[in-house]
Structure 1
Amino acid sequence: MIVRTVSLSELVGVDCAGETLHRRLVDGDGFARAARHLVDLAEHADVALGYSAGGMVLWQSVLLGLSVDRLICISSTRLRLVSAAAVPIPVLAVFGEKDRNRPADAWGTCSHVQTYVISGAGHDFYGTDGPARDLCLARVANFLG
């Protein structure tokens, strides 16, 4: 198995992180530019996994033609701004219950999207060892299983 990691800063073409990188993605066409760059850069992937803004970039890349069999988006709250029905492949979208920016509970219905909301978790649950991350990993394993 080949694993490839691509940073958002690489896709946007900037040397920054954190809030500065987030602003570059959100302002103007940063997400679209990153998605186009990923489509040009990547080959077929069995699975693509993105955290937060990375999930949104992957989502847009799939819509632009990135060849992916399954997509996993963890805490990708900007997905609330797009139609779940638009993506043609199986997707697992995991959110923390306390993340006030997550999509509405009905967002993934009637689509290829499986949503999973982790009780009591906030936006960045995936970055800390604990029960919320363990639940997320178990759901990801089930999705891939």
Structure 2
Amino acid sequence: MSTNPQNILLIVSDMWGFEHAMWLDNYILNLKDHFIIKRIDCNKIGKITASTENAIHQQFLDFGIDLVVEHILYYNQREVSILGFSIGGFIAWQAGHRGLSIKDFYAVSSTRLRLENYKPNTKSIHLYYGSDDSNIPNFDWHDMHSIKPNLIPNGNHLIYRKPEIAKKVCSDIISSCIV
């Protein structure tokens, strides 16, 4: 069994972007032989200029989310798989609502999904959360969408930065793309 290196994986950043995201290497190194990887830096593409967490979040709500969704839709005409982190997963979900063809959807700590009433049309959806993250969608939300969440014991919102979580998520992604 092998993977198809023609599969495109969009890796969509958290609100901080990729400039200082050394943790991203844990994902890239595990996935690069299995996908054509495209990185979507939400902070840069969203034209975020703020530097504090609350101000960055507000700029995403005011204009950044829409800018990144438009970018994703414009530059991705083929079916893609998604790996989104925090707000990046929410942004990719929005792109799916607006026409992005998504094969498999993976998101880690995308707590803003709790506000969504509809899910994008995909083959599969895999959501990972730290069990100690106070903003994760509740079980009723997951039941409504027929999604079984992957809860990481004793994990907070930034679980995606931990190498052992990257290994688990990458293993799940690779397993789903075996042809």
Bin for the TM-score computed over the shorter chain:
0.7 to 0.9
After superposition, what is the alpha-carbon deviation per residue over 1:69-97, rounded to whole angstroms, capped at 9, x for unaligned?
111111000001112x4322121111111
- For the pair 1:92 / 2:126, whether they are aligned, the reply is yes
- How many Å separate the matches in 2 of 1:105 and 1:142? 26
Cα deviation digits, residues 23-60 of structure 1 (max 9, x gap): 3112x243233212211122324311100010000000
Q: How many residues align?
A: 142
Runs of 4+ in 1 over 6 A off after TM superposition: none
Q: Which moved more, 1:72-81 or 1:100-109?
A: 100-109
1:11 is the counterpart of 2:45: yes
Equivalence map 1:1-145=2 (5 Å): 1=5, 2-14=36-48, 19=53, 20-26=55-61, 28-83=62-117, 85-89=118-122, 90-111=124-145, 113-130=147-164, 132-144=165-177
Unpaired segments ≥5 residues, structure 1? none
Distance 1:112 1:88 in 2: 13
Instruction: Return the index of the structure with the highest Cα Rg.
Output: 2
Q: Which amino acid aligns with 2:147?
A: V
In structure 2, relative to structure 1, the CA distance for the partners of 1:144 and 1:111 (3 Å cut) is farther
Q: Which runs of 5+ in 2 are unaligned?
A: 6-35
- Cα distance in 2, alignment partners of residues 140 and 103 from structure 1: 22
- Percent same amino acid at aligned positions? 21
The question of whether the paired residues in 2 share the 8 Å contact of 1:9 and 1:16 is answered with no
